[in-house]
Amino acid sequence: MTISVKLDRVLLDRGMSLTELSERVGVTIANLSILKTGKAKAIRFSTLEAICKELNCQPGDILFFDDEDAVVEAAE
Amino acid sequence: MTAPTADTPHAAQGAGDRSVAVLIKVLRYTRIALVFVLFTVLGTAARLPFFPLRFGGDPADPEARWPTVHIGAAVDPDMTAAAIYTQSAVEVILIAAGFFIISEMLQLLRNVAGGHAFIRENGARLRRMGYAGVVAQLSIYAVWIVSRTVDAAGVAAVDGLTVEISPAPWIIILCAFALSTVFNDAAALKEEQDLTV
């Protein structure tokens, strides 16, 4: 997946635990773990909105796009 | 295959739950019954060589060959030993296929009862059931060909063998393969949904 989630870094900056975020956002820890470990295939706008609201950040602060193919092409 | 990481598996509810439980029970007893059927088939074939000796009958006389009291499966008195052996062989294949199909069906239903209906494992199970059905059908066709085989003089290769073939099982087999595809597609959708936060 070329989209990566860097939730742990923002959580560290805000000094918030995953459990606390889970309670505030209303998403189960299991689902937040899926998001954090990069296993998630999709994220609902409502979830993203809630996370951004609680962490006081932009979607771009937690979602990153790494074009793996482009990196490989550049190396070749 | 690991179970999907859903927060709450969509377990079958109420009447559906009960009917699945009943089906599981029925299939379990059917599987046990199949083992007994296998023993009667093997018993019929195994005691065949001893019959003319034990009863002192003329092997050419069907009545002498097959006394009216049968311990195992009922045998048509007109059948020859070769026909009985051939039929027993195909019956063993059919019972094995039936046992396999029922076992797969049981595990599939257990998965459904456990709330994991749409997983790739179930799709694979249905496909394997389809293949077992194909094997069973082909074994019947093989015996049908044997029953139709005659030598130059027009004498049947295996005398007294009657086989009925029907297109109906092929429709069931086709359904199994089609359902397998449906389950695989459903599993893909379910996986996507489970991994959406």
The answer to whether B45 and B85 have CB atoms below 8 angstroms apart is yes
The answer to whether B135 and B176 have CB atoms below 8 angstroms apart is no
- Nearest chain A residue (CA) to B5: A30
Contact B197 A39 (CB under 8 A): no
Contact A34 B197 (CB under 8 A): yes
The answer to whether B81 and B89 have CB atoms below 8 angstroms apart is no
For B57-101, what is each residue's pLDDT tens digit? 455 555 555 544 444 445 555 667 777 788 888 899 999 999 999
CATH superfamily to which A3-75 belongs: lambda repressor-like DNA-binding domains (1.10.260.40)
At residue B64, φ and ψ (nearest 5 deg) are -70, -35
Alpha helices in B48-119 (DSSP H): 51-55, 62-65, 81-113
Q: Which two tokens stand for residue B10?
A: 């969509």
B60 vs B188, higher pLDDT: B188
Which residues on A lie below 8 Å from B4 (Cβ)? Answer: none
Instruction: Tell whether A30 lies on the interface with B, counting CB pairs under 8 A.
Output: yes
Interface A–B counts its CB contacts (< 8 A) at 28
| Cα–Cα distance for residue pair B180/B87, rounded to 1 Å | 31
Instruction: Tell whether B164 lies on the interface with A, counting CB pairs under 8 A.
Output: no
> Taking a contact as any Cβ pair under 8 Å apart, which residues of chain B between 1 and 60 contact chain A?
5, 7
Q: Is A41 helix (H, G, I), strand (E, B) or coil?
A: coil
B159 closest CA partner among B91, B90, B84: B84
Note the Cα B16 to chain centre separation in Å. Answer: 26
List, in order, residues 6 or more apart from A75 with CB less than 8 Å away. none
Query: How far is residue B151 from each of residues A2, B55, B87, B101, B156, measured CA to CA in Å?
Result: 70, 32, 20, 37, 6
The answer to whether B140 and B170 have CB atoms below 8 angstroms apart is no
Instruction: Tell whether A52 lies on the interface with B, counting CB pairs under 8 A.
Output: no
For B154-169, what is each residue's pLDDT tens digit? 777 777 777 888 899 9
For A28-76, what is each residue's pLDDT tens digit? 999 999 988 888 889 999 999 999 999 999 999 999 998 777 666 666 6
Instruction: Tell whether B150 lies on the interface with A, counting CB pairs under 8 A.
Output: no
Average pLDDT over residues B108-123: 93
Least confident of A63-67, B48-52, B140-144, B146-150: B48-52
Residue ranges per structural domain of chain A: 3-75
